[in-house]
Amino acid sequence: MKYLIANWKSNKKLAEVEKFFTKINKLYQSDKEYNLNSLEIVVCPPFVYLPLAKKMVERYKLPIKLGAQDVSPFQEGAYTGGVTASMLSEFVEYVIIGHSERRNYFKEGRGLLVQKVKKVVEAKLTPIFCIQSDQTLIPKEVKMVAFEPVEAIGTGKPETPERATQVAESVKKQNQNVNTVLYGGSVTPDNIKSFVATRHIDGVLVGGASLEGDKFWEMIVNVSDI
């Protein structure tokens, strides 16, 4: 199985979410010859758009799953602003944890990230744990990791596929529980295949290039035959 995961970050208005899924549906309907059986496509919108995204995916019967970009480290209760893993489980199957933007801008550290991973696993969701190098500590419950070198995120300067696959191999060697390593950082329709086709990379986590429906569809098509 290969993974194409879209991280929308803090982007889009309600109408744009609708437009995205309508566009994907149009392309999907007119372009059905692609074999998507071995590709897991996941879209991670901001929390507030999850109900709409779920409705659109169901309405059009799209081969897309949903993910969240963050989660509360606590259970339900008096934790103002917290969106819990069990709330998310009505909408998503995946949760991104420890993205470098959360680590840098929101000052999230290891203890907090471990707590989040635990909550996500308890809710039977899959954490996508982001690491910045093969030296980043990975909680033992984690099976899916996204290698995202900070210099490559949003800069148009991706890591080379050769180096990325080396890191993926090293991560799998050092962490027996990790069976899936994604690459993230300036992935585009043009370079996506070069990452996904490498031996140790199981998919990609895409930010900027996942925001427009037609660009996202182009990426789906480009990896559908791998």
Residues contributing to the site for ligand PGA (CB under 6 A): 7, 148, 153-154, 184-187, 205-209
What's the gap between Cα 80 and its chain centre?
Answer: 26
Distance between CA atoms of 152 and 135, rounded to whole angstroms? 17
Q: How far is the CB of 46 from ligand PGA (least distance, A)?
A: 14
CA distance 19 to 225: 27
Of 43 and 84, the one with the shorter C-beta distance to ligand PGA is 43
Q: Which two tokens stand for residue 141?
A: 């419950």
Q: Name which of 117 and 152 has its Cβ closer to ligand PGA.
A: 152
First-to-last C-alpha distance (Å) of the chain? 10
Q: How far is the CB of 74 from ligand PGA (least distance, A)?
A: 25
Sole residue written with tokens 């080379």: 160
Catalytic residue among 40, 99, 108, 159: 99
Nearest-approach distance from CB 101 to ligand PGA, in angstroms: 7
- CA 226/CA 216 separation, integer angstroms: 17
Of the residues 40, 101, 108, 148, only one is catalytic, namely 148
Q: Residue number with the shortest CB distance to ligand PGA?
A: 207
Query: Closer CB to ligand PGA, residue 39 or residue 209?
Result: 209
The H or E element spanning position 187 is: none
Contact predicate 205/184, CB 8 Å: yes
Q: To the nearest whole angstrom, how small is the minimum distance from the Cβ of residue 152 to ligand PGA?
A: 6
Closer residue to ligand PGA, CB minimum distance, 73 or 98? 98
CB of 158 to ligand PGA, least distance (A): 8
Active site residue 148: yes
Here the tokens at position 128 are 């996508």
Q: Indicate the residue among 85 and 187 with the shorter CB distance to ligand PGA.
A: 187
- C-alpha distances (whole Å) from 225 to each of 179, 197, 217 are 21, 10, 14
Q: Which residues share a beta bridge with 147?
A: 131, 183
99 is catalytic: yes
Active site residues: 99, 148
